[in-house]
């Protein structure tokens, strides 16, 4: 049966069993997987995902060996609404898929699909991160087009995860965290590119003793007669104890974009998607691309968020504005950019739990109470005004029955600003700082 015939054969209220028996196989066939590359009811510990697939290689027939699955598909009935985030069915199915993708026995899996024969959405797994790649695609229109789009992603998985560090507030640790995440990921042998997109401050280059670029970035963003590889500067630490120099690559800020720029004029020359486009050719060269953004919501911050797979937001316990700004970014700014990515049938970035930078090691109880009270007010306000529940972004371990208020944090450490004076990431210079950033990397990424 062809995919179109299978689609026509399904009644409007087809339950999960019907969708499974009539539609799943033709759909996976259309995605390029043959009979012997598909295992229904694939076991993951005590669970089972509806479908698992992987290309056969030589004598290794996936149906027989059932080893190293590549993609999981969780199937639902037509009455389960998978058309958007506002539907509980959608949210529960995504949670279910995430559990499967992150299970210890799913190491080899790169992709996940949720599908009910009316809608389908593709998710990618990168280390500990699971993020949506496409928007929720309707299968009621041009089926062939949707299949083609999914295949393009699945058949050429990009290597890099793109992370934007953002808070509309300055001084919260965006630049410091960008540099130290890059250094720590490099310690784990990951290949990392860092982009200083805060052209006004260019603190990132300063912290590494690298001078800003001069009139180089515009050409790259415009995609004209300029290769992005030509503006990459390697930052390497040489030390007798190291077999090879350790470090990461950097695209420095550009002086041409510093100062008070005319935003309207800039928008005539530059496009929202140009950073995203410029990075495409680098996505197989790096494991991580980190973008340090400016503390505002103007063009360069928007480009950084538009280009990202995930956004990481640092905030400070003692700075109310940084907490409020985190909330505005999550409920307004980032959804704006997701909306723009949906135009090209992509999902746009997800937001990781906020982390508290500069947290006191032994905080006075009143300080802790002050912060939690402020956060509770922020959560209440956004629930009331925008119907948006910020709880998981502030308290990632909080759930019904377990009111755990633990937050992700990096403590205040004198080593961290001291490393700036040495023009070196603190994670390279000082072991205690390294330990803290290793925790952060393990919490989010590895």
Ligand X SMILES: Nc1ncnc2c1ncn2[C@@H]1O[C@H](COP(=O)(O)OP(=O)(O)O)[C@@H](O)[C@H]1O
Task: Find the shortest distance in angstroms from Cβ 436 to Mg ion.
Answer: 19
Q: CA torsion, points 396, 398, 404, 407, in degrees to nearest 10?
A: 20
Task: Say whether residue 170 binds ligand X (CB under 6 A).
Answer: yes
Contact 305, 334 (CB under 8 A): yes
357 binds, among Mg ion, ligand X, none (CB under 5 to 8 A by kind): ligand X
26 binds, among Mg ion, ligand X, none (CB under 5 to 8 A by kind): none
Residues 93, 168, 302, 358: which binds ligand X (CB under 6 A)? Answer: 358
Task: Say whether residue 121 binds ligand X (CB under 6 A).
Answer: no
| Structure token digits, residue 140 | 């009621």
**Cβ distance to ligand X smaller for residue 173 or 205:** 173
**Cβ distance to ligand X smaller for residue 3 or 410:** 410
| Structure token digits, residue 185 | 């990921």
**Cβ distance to Mg ion smaller for residue 198 or 287:** 198
**Cβ distance to Mg ion smaller for residue 40 or 171:** 171
**Helix 320-328 × helix 365-386 angle, to 10°:** 30
172 binds, among Mg ion, ligand X, none (CB under 5 to 8 A by kind): ligand X
Rounded to whole angstroms, the Cα distance separating 7 from 140 reads 9
Task: Find the shortest distance in angstroms from Cβ 430 to ligand X.
Answer: 11
Task: Find the shortest distance in angstroms from Cβ 90 to ligand X.
Answer: 34
**Cβ distance to ligand X smaller for residue 93 or 302:** 302
Rounded to whole angstroms, the Cα distance separating 6 from 117 reads 10
Query: Hey, which residues between 275 and 314 contact ligand X (CB under 6 A)?
Result: 295
Task: Find the shortest distance in angstroms from Cβ 174 to Mg ion.
Answer: 5
Residues 51, 121, 175, 325: which binds Mg ion (CB under 5 A)? Answer: 175
Rounded to whole angstroms, the Cα distance separating 374 from 360 reads 17
**Cβ distance to ligand X smaller for residue 134 or 357:** 357
Residues 26, 171, 335, 396: which binds ligand X (CB under 6 A)? Answer: 171
Residues 374, 412, 422, 423: which binds ligand X (CB under 6 A)? Answer: 412
Which range in 37-45, 238-246, 256-264, 408-416 contacts ligand X by CB under 6 A?
408-416
Q: Tell me which residue has its CB nearest to Mg ion.
A: 175
Task: Say whether residue 319 binds Mg ion (CB under 5 A).
Answer: no
| Total residues binding ligand X (CB under 6 A) | 17
Task: Say whether residue 218 binds ligand X (CB under 6 A).
Answer: no
Task: Say whether residue 203 binds Mg ion (CB under 5 A).
Answer: yes
**Cβ distance to ligand X smaller for residue 278 or 357:** 357
| Whole-number Cα distances in Å, 354 to 82, 304, 376, 392, 443 | 27, 17, 14, 9, 12
**Cβ distance to ligand X smaller for residue 304 or 416:** 416
Rounded to whole angstroms, the Cα distance separating 374 from 317 reads 10
Task: Find the shortest distance in angstroms from Cβ 319 to ligand X.
Answer: 11
**Cβ distance to ligand X smaller for residue 135 or 357:** 357
Task: Say whether residue 175 binds ligand X (CB under 6 A).
Answer: yes
Task: Find the shortest distance in angstroms from Cβ 102 to Mg ion.
Answer: 32
Task: Find the shortest distance in angstroms from Cβ 321 to ligand X.
Answer: 12
Task: Say whether residue 174 binds ligand X (CB under 6 A).
Answer: yes
**Cβ distance to Mg ion smaller for residue 44 or 433:** 433
For residue 88, the tally of other CB atoms under 10 A from its CB is: 9
Sort strands 233-237 and 111-115 into parallel, antiparallel or unpaired: unpaired
Residues 252, 371, 410, 440: which binds ligand X (CB under 6 A)? Answer: 410
Rounded to whole angstroms, the Cα distance separating 180 from 66 reads 40
Task: Say whether residue 254 binds Mg ion (CB under 5 A).
Answer: no
Which range in 33-41, 114-122, 389-397, 412-420 contacts ligand X by CB under 6 A?
412-420
* Bridge partners, residue 43, by sequence: 48
**Cβ distance to ligand X smaller for residue 177 or 382:** 177
**Which residues of this chain interact with Mg ion, rule CB under 5 A?**
174-175, 198, 203
Which positions lie near ligand X, rule CB under 6 A? Answer: 170-176, 203, 295, 357-358, 410, 412-413, 416-417, 420
């Amino acid at each position: 049966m062809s995919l179109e015939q299978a689609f026509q054969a399904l009644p409007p209220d087809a339950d999960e069993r019907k969708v499974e028996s009539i539609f799943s196989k033709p759909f996976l066939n259309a995605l390029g997987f043959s009979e012997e590359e598909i295992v229904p009811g694939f076991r993951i510990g005590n669970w089972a995902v509806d479908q698992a697939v992987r290309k056969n290689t030589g004598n290794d027939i996936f149906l027989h060996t059932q080893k190293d699955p590549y993609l999981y598909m969780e199937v639902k009935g037509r009455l389960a609404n998978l058309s958007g985030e506002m539907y509980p069915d959608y949210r529960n199915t995504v949670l279910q898929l995430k559990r499967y993708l992150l299970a210890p026995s799913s190491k080899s899996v790169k992709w996940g699909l949720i599908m009910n024969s009316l809608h389908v959405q593709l998710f990618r797994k990168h280390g500990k991160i699971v993020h949506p790649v496409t928007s929720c695609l309707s299968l009621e229109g041009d089926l062939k087009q949707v299949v083609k789009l999914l295949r393009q992603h699945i058949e050429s998985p990009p290597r890099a995860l793109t992370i934007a560090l953002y808070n509309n507030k300055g001084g919260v640790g965006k630049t410091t965290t960008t540099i130290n995440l890059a250094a720590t990921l490099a310690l784990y042998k990951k290949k990392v590119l860092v982009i200083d997109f805060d052209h006004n401050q260019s603190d990132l280059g300063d912290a590494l003793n690298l001078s800003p670029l001069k009139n180089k970035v515009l050409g790259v963003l415009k995609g004209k007669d300029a290769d992005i590889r030509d503006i990459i500067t390697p930052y390497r630490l040489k030390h007798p104890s190291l077999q090879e120099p350790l470090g990461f690559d950097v695209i420095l800020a550009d002086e041409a974009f510093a100062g008070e720029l005319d935003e309207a004029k800039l928008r005539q020359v530059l496009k929202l998607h140009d950073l995203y486009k410029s990075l495409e050719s680098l996505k197989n060269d790096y494991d991580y691309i980190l973008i340090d953004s400016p503390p505002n919501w103007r063009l360069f911050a928007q480009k950084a968020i538009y280009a990202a797979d995930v956004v990481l937001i640092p905030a400070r316990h003692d700075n109310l504005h940084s907490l409020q700004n985190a909330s505005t970014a999550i409920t307004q700014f980032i959804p704006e950019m997701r909306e723009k990515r949906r135009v090209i049938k992509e999902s746009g970035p997800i937001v990781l739990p906020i982390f508290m930078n500069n947290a006191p090691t032994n905080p006075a109880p009143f300080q802790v109470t002050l912060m939690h009270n402020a956060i509770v007010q922020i959560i209440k306000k956004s629930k009331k005004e925008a119907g948006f529940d910020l709880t998981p972004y502030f308290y990632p371990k909080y759930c019904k029955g377990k009111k755990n208020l633990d937050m992700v944090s990096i403590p205040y450490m004198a080593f961290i600003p001291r490393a700036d004076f040495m023009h070196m990431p603190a994670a390279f210079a000082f072991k205690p700082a390294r330990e803290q950033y290793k925790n952060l990397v393990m919490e989010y990424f590895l």
